[in-house]
Structure 1
Amino acid sequence: MIINKFGGASIKDLQALEQMVSICKTQIHQGVIVVSAMGKMTNLLEMLTINYVNGQPFETFLNEFVSFHQTFLNKLFEPNHLVFSHFQELIHTLETKLSKKPGLNFDFEYDQIVPFGELVSSRIVHAYQNLKGVQSQWVDIRNVLKTDATYREGNVDWVLTTGLVSKQFNNFSGQLYLTQGFIGSDRNGLMTTLGREGSDFTAAILANCLDAEKVVVWKDVPGIMCADPDWIPNADKIEKLSYTDAIELSYYGAKVIHPKTIKPLQNKSIPLQVRSFYDLENQGTLIAAFDNLVLAPVYIKKEKQVLVSIRPNDLSFIMEENLSHIFGILAKHQIRVNLMQNSAISFSITVDTNMDRVPNAIEELKKHYEVKYNEPLELITIRHHKPDAERLVTVNREVLLEQRSRSVARFVLR
C-alpha cells in the first residue's frame, strides 16, 4: 500500500484538480490519498475564526469560503449531483457552529472551524475523481485518527488510532481510499488538528499504522531544495536525504515537510518521496535510511520571528529553577522555541509570531522577570555550513543573535 498526499496547491483551481486526477489515473491505483484544504482556504478560515472569537464580523470570510467552493461545484457537476448535498450539509454544520457564542479557548474554537476546509475539499475531490473514472472510497478521518484534547497540536493516540485505521483501510489489494489531512478527533468526538501544514503528518500516521510501502507527497516544487528558490534563485534540488537530515531540516523550519512527519516513517523504515506535481519525469527527493551522504549547505529561513530576552529583576544568575519556570510558562501557552541561548544573567529565545499566544506569555513572564523583545525578525539556519554560505545570508543585515555547532549555524537577523 502507498499513501499519496496532495496539498492545497495541488487542488487550488480547476487546472490543478485536472492534473491531480490525471496523476491518479496513470500512477495511483490503490492505497490512500490524503488531501488538504483547497488553495488558501485554511488562511481564510483562520481569519474567520479570529473575528468570530473576538466578536468581530466574520460573514465576509464565510461568504468567500462558500462562494469559492460553490463556483468549483457549479463548473464541475450537474446541479443534481450528490456532492451538492454533502456540501450544503457541511456548510449548515459550520453555520450552526458560528451561530453560537464562542468560548474562551481560542485553540478549541479554531479546531471546530478550520477543519471544514479539508472536509469540503475532500468531498469535491472525491466526487470529481469518481466522475472521471477514478473510483475511490471517501473516509472521514475523524473516525479513525484519534488524539488527546490538545487543540491545534493534537497528540496522536497511537494504540487507538492504529486499531481503527487498520479496521477502516482493510482492503489492501485494489481499493483506493480518499481522506482528509490535518484533522482528527478526541475521545469525545470533538475535532482536533495536528498543527499547521499537518496533512503530511496525517500521511505518515496512516503509513505507520498500515505498514505502507511508501509515502509520496506531491508538491508544486521539484522536490526538497537547498533553499527556497524565491530567496536563493540558484538553489539546487536535493536528490537523497537521510531520515536524520530530514528531521533536522523540518525541525529548523523547512516548509516542504511537516516537522512530525519523519519519525513515524523512520520507525518502520518507510521511504518518503517528495515529487513535483507538474513534472512527472522528475522523481523528486527520496528520504530513506541513507548513510554517509555528502550534502551542500542547506538554507532555511523562518520569517515573522520574535526574539525575547528574559533576565531576573534583581540581575541574579539565571539558574535551573528559572529555566524550569520559564519553560513552564511557555508550555502553558503552547509556544515552541525555535532557538535558545543563555548567559549568566539572561536567557533569550526566538519563537514564531503568534497573535494570541506570544503576547499572553510575555505578559505572564513580565510578572517575574525583566522582559524585552524585538520583532519582526528572521531566523536563518544553515545546515552543513561554510564561511561563504554564512556571508551569503548575513551581508548587509544586523545580526542580533548567532549560534554555531559543527554542522549548523543559526542567525537571528533584522
Structure 2
Amino acid sequence: MQVLKFGGSSVATAENMQRVLTLAEAAARRTTTVVVVSALGGVTDALIEAGRRAAAADGAYREQLRQLEKRHLEVVRSLLPIAGQSAVLSFVKTHCNELEHLCDGIFALGELSDRTLDRLVSYGELLSSRVMAAGLAARGVAYAWLDSRQLIRTDARYGHAAVDFGVTNQQIQAAVTAAGVPLLVAPGFVAAEAGGSTTTLGRGGSDYTAAIFAGALGAEQLEIWTDVSGMMTADPRLVRHARPIPRISYQEAMELSHFGAKVLYPPTIQPVRQQGIPLWIKNTFAPNDAGTLVEVEPPANKAIVRGLSSIGPVALLRLEGSGMVGIPGFSRRLFAALAREQVNVILITQSSSEHSICVAVSEAEAARAKQAADTEFEAEINNGRLDPLDMESSLAIVALVGEQMKDHPGISGRMFSALGTNGINIRAIAQGSSEKNISTVIRQQDVRKASNVLHETFFEATTRQVNLVVAGVGNVGSKLLEQLARQQTWLREKLRLNLRVVGLANSSRFVLNEEGLDLENWQQALAGGQPLNLPTLTEQLLALNLRNTVFVDVTASAEVAACYAPLLARSVAVVACNKVAASSEYVAYARLKTLASDFNTQFLFETNVGAGLPVIGTLNDLLRSGDEVHRIEAVLSGTLNFVFNNYDGTRPFAEVVRQAQNEGYTEPDPRLDLTGVDVARKILILARESGQHLELSDIENDSFLPASCLEGDVAAFYEQLAVHEPHFRALYDAAAEKGEKLRFVARYRDGQARVGLQSIAPGHDLYALQGKDNAVLFFTNRYTEQPLVIKGAGAGADVTASGVFADILRAVQ
C-alpha cells in the first residue's frame, strides 16, 4: 500500500495531468495506490478572490468564475478522447453552476463566513480529482473515486479543522477495503464535520490529506509529488546554489516546513511520523531525480546544518516594563489573549530578567494581535507598570535547522558573524532547547541576502561569492579589471573566492548587473549603461543588497568619496585608491573609520601611500602589536623621484617632466605632483594612522616650484618650467657638488609633519632610490637606530592596481 499526492502545479494543465496519470498507473502496478489530488494550480486562490469580491458587492466575481469554468472545460477536452468527454463536461458545468449560485448568495448577503468559504474552495479539489479519475477511465485503468468529505471527520473550526483520527482511520480503512481496486483517487484539502458540512485542512492541506490516508492505511510509503526535486538546502528562488537534501529526519523536515519551506505542509509530518512511514518528496517533471527521503533516523551525515528556510512578512510584538519583573502570569495572559483572537505565534523569546516578552506573528494578524494585547494589559499600561505595546513590521524569520547542531558548538556564532559582516541586523533570536533550530528575526528586505550569506557559510565551503563595484576604469582601473579576470581561476582554486564584478562606473556612465559583468567585454557593457549620477548609483547598489559587497574607488573624485559613508553604514566595504577621503578634514576621516568599525566592515586605502607597497598595512601591524612610531622619513612620490633621478642638467627640467607625464607617472596636470601637495596628503595619512589628529593645513610644504609655474594652464606651466631652467639647474648643481642627490622628502616627528626638496647624502636609505621608487622609513620603539624600511616601485598602473587588488582580498577575508 502506498499513497501519492500530486500538487497544484503537477495538475495545472492537461499535459501535466498526463504525466500524473502515467506515474499513478505505474505505481498501481506495483501495489495498491491511493492518489490524492490538489486543485489545478492557482484555482484555490481564484476561488477565494471570487468569494471576497462577491462579499464586497463586486460583480467581477462572475467573470472570474467563468474563467475558472473555461479553464476546467479546456483541460477536459485536451485530456480526454471525445467519446469520454460528455459526462465529465456535464459534471464540470453542474459544479460550476453550483459555484455561481453560492457566490450569488454571498453577493446577496454581503458576507463570506468561514463555513461558506470552506465550501467554496472545496470545489477546486472536487473538480480536479474527478477529471483525474476520468483520465484513468480513458486509459482503461480500474479505479475508484473516494470522497474525502465522507472519510475524514473533523471538528467545526472552518479553515483549519482538527481531525478526529479515531473515526477517520476507521472510515478510510473500510472505504479502501470495500473498493477492491488497485488504484483509488481522492480530493485533497477537504473534509467534513460530524453534521456533514464541508471543512478544509488549511492551505497546503492536500499534503495533510495524503498523510492522513497513509497513516490510516499503514502505507509502506507516502510520496509527495511537486515541482521541485525534493526539499532544498534553501529556497531556490532566493539562493541559486540551493541543492536537494537527499535524506532528512521528520523533526528537521517539520522545522524547515514550519519556517517557510513551502514544499511540505507542516502538519503532514505527524500522521506518518507516528508510524515511521517513509515520506518521499519527488518532482513530477523530473521523476527520475532522487528527491528527498524523510525518515525517522537518516544515516549519519557530515552536514551539521541540514537546511535553512525563511518565513515572512512577520511582525514583532514586544511587551515590556518593570512591572513584569518577578510577577507571574504575564506570559500566560499574553498567549491567552492571542489565542482568543486565533493569532498564531510563530516565535517566542523572553529576556532572562523577565523585563520583556517578544513574540513574532504573521504581519496579516499583527493588528489583531496588538489590539488583543493592548486590551488585556490596558490597566497595567495606564498605570505605568507596562510600556505601551511596541510593534515592528516588515520583518522575516530566517532559521537554521539540523539535528546535529546540538553536538557542535559555535554554530550560532558563525551564523551571527556571517549576518553581522554583511550588515544584517538581528531584531530577535530564538533557539529551542533541543538545539535543532536557530531562528533570527531580520528585515524582510534582507531575506535574500541573509539566505545567500548563510547558505554560503554552511553549505558552500568550496567558494565564497564576492561582489565588486569598481568606480574608475582609467589606467589603474582597467589594469585592475585585467588582473581580476586573469586571477579568477586561481582565486577559486586557492582562496575559494569567486570575485564577481557587478558594477562599473566612469566619469560619464555606470552599469550594475547583479549577475555579474563579462570582464572580457566590460567596455561595451559600460557604454550601454546609465548616465552617471552618483546618488542613483549608490541607491541602486544598496537596493540590490548583495552579500559580501566591496565598493572600489579608483578615481581622484571628491564626489565619489562622498559615497563612502552611506555604503559603510550598510556594511559595504570600501577600498579606496582615491586619497580624498583619508586626507580630508580629520572629522570626516574619523567618521569613515568609525562607520567601518560600527558596521563591521572594512575601509581600506593602502594605495593612498606608496601604490602597491605595504606601507599602511605595516604601520597598522606595528601599532596593533604594541609598537609606537616616533619618526617617519619617506619619499612618497614616484613621479618626483622619477623626475629627479632623470634630471642631471644635460637636458631641460621641462623635458624630463614631460617624459614622466608621457610614461604615465604623473596626473594629467603634472602640477598636482610637482607642488608636493600629493606628498603632503600621503604623510598626513601616515600621521593620522599613527594616531595624530592633523589637518592638511598642518603639513609644512617647502615647494621648489617658482610661483609663476602655478599660473595658467598646463601649456603655460611647461613654458614657465623652461623659463626657470636656471633655478632647477642650480638646485641640481648644489646637490651634485656635495655628491648628494635631490629627493622630495616627507618627514613626520613628534606630532608634526613637513614635505620638501632635500639633498640626500650617500649612505642614507633614501639616496639609492631608482626610477619611480618610493621608500618609507619607520623609526619606532623596536626600530630605533636602524629603521624599518619599505622600498619599491611607488607609481605605475600595474603596481597600483595590484595594491588595490590586495586591499579587496583583505576586505573579504
TM-score when scaled to structure 2?
A: 0.48
Work out whether residues 247 and 298 of structure 2, in 8 Å CA contact, stay in contact via their aligned partners in 1: no
Going from structure 1 to structure 2, the CA distance change for 1:104 and 1:220 (only over 3 Å counts) comes to: same
Q: For residues 87 and 321 of structure 1, what CA distance do their matches in structure 2 show?
A: 55
Q: For residues 193 and 314 of structure 2, what CA distance do their matches in structure 1 show?
A: 31
Q: For residues 366 and 259 of structure 2, what CA distance do their matches in structure 1 show?
A: 19
* Matching residue of 1:361: 369
Paired AA for residue 411 in structure 1: T
* Displacement of 1:159: 1.3
Paired AA for residue 347 in structure 1: I
| More RCO (CA 8 Å, sep 6+) | 1
- Given candidates 65, 71, 76, the residue that maps to 1:73 is 76
Q: For residues 49 and 346 of structure 1, what CA distance do their matches in structure 2 show?
A: 41
Paired AA for residue 268 in structure 1: Q
Aligned to 2:329, what secondary structure does the other structure show?
Answer: helix
Paired AA for residue 5 in structure 1: K
* Matching residue of 2:588: none
Q: For residues 68 and 370 of structure 2, what CA distance do their matches in structure 1 show?
A: 34
* Displacement of 1:349: 1.2
Q: For residues 131 and 159 of structure 1, what CA distance do their matches in structure 2 show?
A: 36
The alignment status of 1:306 with 2:320, answered yes or no, reads no
The alignment status of 1:412 with 2:422, answered yes or no, reads no
Going from structure 1 to structure 2, the CA distance change for 1:216 and 1:43 (only over 3 Å counts) comes to: same
After TM superposition, the structure 1 stretch with the greater mean CA deviation from structure 2, 370-379 or 210-219, is 370-379
* Displacement of 1:309: 2.1
* Matching residue of 1:88: 93
Q: For residues 96 and 60 of structure 1, what CA distance do their matches in structure 2 show?
A: 14
Q: For residues 138 and 196 of structure 2, what CA distance do their matches in structure 1 show?
A: 31
* Matching residue of 2:7: 7
* Matching residue of 1:257: 264
* Matching residue of 2:66: 63
Q: For residues 131 and 218 of structure 2, what CA distance do their matches in structure 1 show?
A: 28
* Matching residue of 2:339: 331
After TM superposition, the structure 1 stretch with the greater mean CA deviation from structure 2, 51-60 or 326-335, is 51-60
* Matching residue of 2:36: 34
Work out whether residues 21 and 134 of structure 1, in 8 Å CA contact, stay in contact via their aligned partners in 2: no
Q: For residues 320 and 382 of structure 1, what CA distance do their matches in structure 2 show?
A: 32
Going from structure 1 to structure 2, the CA distance change for 1:104 and 1:242 (only over 3 Å counts) comes to: same
For 1:195-274, list aligned pairs within 5 A. Answer: 195-274=202-281
Aligned to 1:99, what secondary structure does the other structure show?
Answer: helix
Instruction: Write the deviation string for residues 286-335 of structure 1: whole angstroms up to 9, x where unpaired.
Output: 112225633342110112212222346x8544854222222222222222
* Matching residue of 1:398: 425
* Matching residue of 1:134: 141
* Matching residue of 1:350: 360
Work out whether residues 69 and 93 of structure 2, in 8 Å CA contact, stay in contact via their aligned partners in 1: no
Q: For residues 371 and 49 of structure 1, what CA distance do their matches in structure 2 show?
A: 35
Paired AA for residue 279 in structure 2: L
- Greater share of residues in helix: 2
Aligned to 1:281, what secondary structure does the other structure show?
Answer: coil
Instruction: Write the deviation string for residues 211-259 of structure 1: whole angstroms up to 9, x where unpaired.
Output: 1111111111111111112212212221111222223323333222111
Instruction: Write the deviation string for residues 251-278 of structure 1: whole angstroms up to 9, x where unpaired.
Output: 3332221111112112112111111212
* Matching residue of 2:50: 48
Q: For residues 51 and 392 of structure 1, what CA distance do their matches in structure 2 show?
A: 46
Q: For residues 337 and 330 of structure 1, what CA distance do their matches in structure 2 show?
A: 8
* Structure with greater Cα Rg: 2
Work out whether residues 276 and 282 of structure 1, in 8 Å CA contact, stay in contact via their aligned partners in 2: yes
Alignment size in residue pairs: 411
* Displacement of 1:148: 0.2
* Displacement of 1:16: 1.3
- Given candidates 157, 165, 178, the residue that maps to 1:150 is 157
The alignment status of 1:287 with 2:299, answered yes or no, reads no
Aligned to 1:188, what secondary structure does the other structure show?
Answer: coil
Q: For residues 363 and 113 of structure 2, what CA distance do their matches in structure 1 show?
A: 16
Q: For residues 337 and 318 of structure 1, what CA distance do their matches in structure 2 show?
A: 24
Aligned to 2:349, what secondary structure does the other structure show?
Answer: strand
* Displacement of 1:163: 1.5
Q: For residues 215 and 295 of structure 2, what CA distance do their matches in structure 1 show?
A: 14
Aligned to 1:347, what secondary structure does the other structure show?
Answer: strand
Aligned to 1:92, what secondary structure does the other structure show?
Answer: helix
Work out whether residues 242 and 291 of structure 1, in 8 Å CA contact, stay in contact via their aligned partners in 2: yes
Paired AA for residue 413 in structure 1: I
Going from structure 1 to structure 2, the CA distance change for 1:358 and 1:96 (only over 3 Å counts) comes to: farther
Work out whether residues 31 and 172 of structure 1, in 8 Å CA contact, stay in contact via their aligned partners in 2: no
User: Aligned-pair RMSD on alpha carbons?
Assistant: 2.4
Going from structure 1 to structure 2, the CA distance change for 1:393 and 1:42 (only over 3 Å counts) comes to: farther
Work out whether residues 307 and 351 of structure 1, in 8 Å CA contact, stay in contact via their aligned partners in 2: yes
Going from structure 1 to structure 2, the CA distance change for 1:50 and 1:358 (only over 3 Å counts) comes to: farther
Going from structure 1 to structure 2, the CA distance change for 1:308 and 1:49 (only over 3 Å counts) comes to: farther
Task: Quote the sequence identity (%).
Answer: 26
